[in-house]
Structure 1
């Protein structure tokens, strides 16, 4: 067999010196035998009406302000080369029909679906994956994390022909980790053609500004079709001939023709509009909504139905992130005091009615052996909180009940939260903290602006959650390359030389058992550093939907975040005939029995 010199080939390809030669001994794989998770009863058509609490700060999926909630519709849920089946956890095809592993434990080869197209009709080819590396390495995108990752983790993307590529990791990995690292999403090279490229890196010198509100074509079934700045955004389906429908795992999904997001900044107002029939679904995850505010006339008459479905997906890092570069918060005694002064147990019992549960570790839950065993969040303990605050010098109580030190400084911090719906919960945490002499000054910075605020490290304390995959990630949160820098996910600004070493070893480790041990070692350090107070988790989807919104007999998968997200699993549909029937019944005053569906197939 003729060996391929990967690095030399990559250099040759980048300068057009010749075509790469595909190894002849590859064992190509695919997977078309796993069960489907949509329904052949699904109907195409209709407009799904939803809402956003803030207008997107950008349509870019990389660079400043790009990591907001709306990005999932433009990147996170769009097809990559392959994906994990949401129930079996096996690899299934997306843009790639087949794949093969190189014998160097660094390379994965992919055969692209020759029918795959961008939503503007242009073909998706090997060039779009080669250009991905060009774009992500460019300083013009102003995204240091991506620059670092695609330089230090991805060695090269090699084109053999228009529909055959290889993606090479910089380090050997086990098959699971290797596929996770190399299953890239493409970028449309034809769209990002630079108008000015003085540094010659193939990327527009004014990338951030030029593409800020210029929506790129997508590989999925929907594209951003229209907007009313500050008011609404509409996604449109490319139609029945979308290339993905040849894939069995995409059939009977993404069924609505349009998805219209209206900006409604007040969530309670959005709920009222939903109950008037102006929105098709509304999340009822919050206990007060599910138990108290979803029993009105439309529910009782059977026009709106309720759904509660459990998942089995990993829970991400979250709770109260402590910015260790803000003065007194560098003191671990202060941070430990904050941990013990945060009454999440009482919050869950009194405000959440026990529907949620406490995260056992700040880095989340549900990653199997990657998680630190026996980990348990610090309980609410006023004596412990006072003990640590006193060690930090705050051993006296001021006239207002807040602790002070010898210099007269008050034990006071700003607690930022990113959604108005959390106002009451943060007020509870605030009031309980006062019992330990800790003042928390609440600050709401809503929506996309709030996430930008914490990414720029302007917060002292901040309450929010992050997503996760099957394997936890640590570099963005705790590596020194990201600490202290804006537009990174180092929300705590905490790093140590020991952590840097462990994180690098974790990313490079080939042996699964050793990798899991490294993960537990990292989690132990993070826990002992008290830089993130574990919050709560809700492993389910819960909402109300008008009766014309239909779903399969098994509506949930293990990985479903929201049963009614139009782009995630998206196996629901709108029955326009039932919609007309319901509207007619409402006019005639006819009623139906109330319906509540609870899907417990994945309840732990």
Structure 2
């Protein structure tokens, strides 16, 4: 008996679709609440910033996983979406879906209005081409090659608007929807090869040819004007964008342009914001929210403040210990480091107690996939010293730093990407000295830092990763990725036992069994102490000039950002009120003030 999962059942005639089963049962869901505002106005230019210019405009291949990727691929439409509050599946590129009888196949009916940003119509074969692209050696991306060769058997276009996806293993309907819904097409007409010696349909010179050549998108915005190293302007397709035929996209993505300026220093970016050269700014840091927001533009009500709670999944991070580097292959050294990091003190003294400690290094908030029995090692100097001594670091030098019989100093460089992190690491560095541990700070600019870590040059990397409702482990901990560059095994850690669990996790049919395996994997990684959990915040804090508007209920459970800030994904529900902007600029010129405004949305506070 077929399940009608999270959807309304519809029956469609299938005479023209001979490849479809005769009894195919189409599902859709147009009944979830809308979260944009009918008061939204179209037009205007949003001015925002990023800390570094992207190393490439590709989203696969070397350096293709950078911060700007969210604009190019991550926030682009996909086959299906999950409603950001109810979490039920809703239409996106696909209007309907149906399950095959083999527990491996799913059929999707595409929105016939869907077009690429260059006005070419979307074809079902663009999904077939996606699979061809990701399997090609020409993209120089082993992760994509492996995943899409092993997880998906085939993707076929049954006609211009109907896709059949057959996975490599049997899964329950929850899993089929999950692994289907995030798939995004690639524009075959744009990527067609000039040279194809291996006859795989992908340009032999793909990496170089498309390094700074942005592809057409399915979204409301595409890359327009580029000033290399200085700025990128995203242009709206227009009010006739195909997405507005979907009720869930109506009244969203309202600004005509998004001008993204490269400002490498956060303090300088904040000054641009205060002057009105940027419309929005993230106020996540305590000193921004509490101290720097006491300046005149805030006091006179020109700039408003917003604090909204969410229930986002928290990804893996914060301190990744590279076990391929000297001394870090010793678990006693790794435990000593974890015990030497005063993360709770960091929260109280630097973050003013607004954050909380991550329970484990692999993230939280993924339902039964998360092992809730885990907790981080506490700050404990005495226990840290015992661990270091077990590792042979028994000698304490005149500078207070320990060394072993080989003369190796207990000293590690922490790689990080932004200057604002420096005070945090400086605090931890001073605290760790009490255990005889020296932490040196290795600041590598912006996107270059992630490349540095991908190439496994780090000893300790301080960064966190995004995640999804179902965690992935193969790229982080399978031996196939250990010791190799350009993948997410930042710790270079793997074991035969983990390999077995990870492959079982990838292949198991039942979602409940996958959840159990996830918890077991998290336990083993936790016991290995290769990721030391840092802090997390179940909220967003942003500043905005008073002409920026948003719905009366701005937050959804999965709202990651209210406005388009940096690499954070937003739902595009904001707009610019040009009349308010004119009035505000006039008031600024005359020195007139408005009432200061701070908005706090606690609907999803834990």
Q: Give the match for residue 483 of structure 2.
A: 484
**Alignment partners' CA distance in 2, 1:534 and 1:571:** 33
Match of 2:570 in 1: 568
Q: Counterpart of 2:168?
A: 170
| Count of aligned positions | 586
- Show the counterpart of 1:325: 324
Q: Secondary structure at the match of 1:134?
A: helix
Mapping of residues 126-141 of structure 1, within 5 Å: 126-141=124-139
SS of 1:383's equivalent in the other structure is: helix
C-alpha contact (below 8 Å) 1:217/1:223 kept by paired residues: yes
Q: Which residue of 1 aligns with 2:13?
A: none
Residues 61 and 20 of structure 1: is their aligned pair in 2 closer, same or farther, counting only changes over 3 Å? farther
Measure the CA separation in 1 of the matches of 2:287 and 2:352: 9
Asked whether the 8 Å contact 2:125–2:156 carries over to 1, the reply is no
The alpha carbon displacement at 1:515 in A equals 1.3
1:119 partnered with 2:117: yes
Q: Deviations over 1:208-232 (max 9, x none)?
A: 0000000000000100011101000
1:164 & 1:517 partners in 2: Cα distance?
A: 35
Q: Which ranges of structure 2 fall in alignment gaps of 5 or more residues?
A: 1-16
**Offset of residue 112 of structure 1:** 0.5
**What is the match of residue 559 of structure 1?**
558
CA contact (8 A) 1:20 1:159 kept: no
In 1, distance between residues paired with 2:595 and 2:339?
47
- The alpha-carbon deviation at position 181 of structure 1 amounts to 1.3
Shift of 1:484: 1.2
Q: How far apart are residue 345 of structure 1 and its match?
A: 0.6
The answer to whether the aligner puts 1:601 opposite 2:603 as a matched pair is yes
Task: Return the alpha-carbon distance in structure 2 between the equivalents of residues 315 and 182 of structure 1.
Answer: 22
Secondary structure in 2 matching 1:415: strand
Aligned partners of 2:411 and 2:438 also within 8 Å: yes
SS at match of 1:330: coil
Once superposed, what is the RMSD of the aligned Cα atoms? 1.0
Provide the residue aligned with 1:66 in structure 2: 64
The one-character-per-residue Cα deviations of 1:529-587 (angstroms, maximum 9, x if unpaired) are 00000011111110110000001011011111111127631101111111011011112
1:125-182 superposed Cα distances (whole Å, 9 cap, x missing partner): 1110010011000000000000000000011001110100111110111212111212
**In 1, are the aligned partners of 2:113 and 2:245 still within 8 Å (CA)?**
no
CA contact (8 A) 2:476 2:488 kept: yes
Q: TM-score, normalized by length of structure 1? A: 0.96
Q: Residue 520 in 1 paired to residue 522 in 2?
A: no
CA distance in 2, matches of 1:46, 1:280: 11
Indicate the residue corresponding to 2:79 in structure 1.
Answer: 81
- Structure 1: distance between partners of 2:220 and 2:512: 39
Counterpart residue number, 1:10:
none
Q: Out of 587, 590, 601, which is 1:588 matched to?
A: 590
User: 1:3 matched to which residue of 2?
Assistant: none
User: 1:484 and 1:44 mapped to 2: Cα distance?
Assistant: 50
Aligned partners of 1:455 and 1:491 also within 8 Å: yes
Structure 1 residue 330: deviation in Å? 0.6
Alignment of 1:304-383 (within 5 A): 304-383=303-382
Gaps of 5+ in 1: 1-18
- The match for 1:11 is none
Deviation at residue 20 of structure 1 after TM alignment: 6.9
Stretches of 4+ moved more than 4 A in 1?
none
Cα deviation for residue 399 of structure 1 reads 1.2
Give the deviation of 1:308 after TM superposition.
0.4
Query: What do the CA deviations read for 1:39-86 (whole angstroms, capped 9, x no partner)?
Result: 001111000000010000000011100101110011001001101000
- Contact kept, 8 Å, 2:40 with 2:574, in 1: the verdict is yes
| Structure 1 Cα separation of the partners of residues 167 and 495 of structure 2 | 26
Distance 2:19 2:280 in 1: 52
Matched, 1:536 2:535: yes
Q: Which residue of 2 aligns with 1:23?
A: 21
In 2: Cα distance, 1:310 partner to 1:271 partner: 23
SS of residue matched to 1:288: helix
> 2 CA distance for matches of 1:24 and 1:165?
16
> Does the CA contact (< 8 Å) of 2:78 and 2:184 recur in 1?
yes
1:329-375 CA-to-partner distances (Å, cap 9, x unmatched) read 11111111111011101000111011111000110111121111221
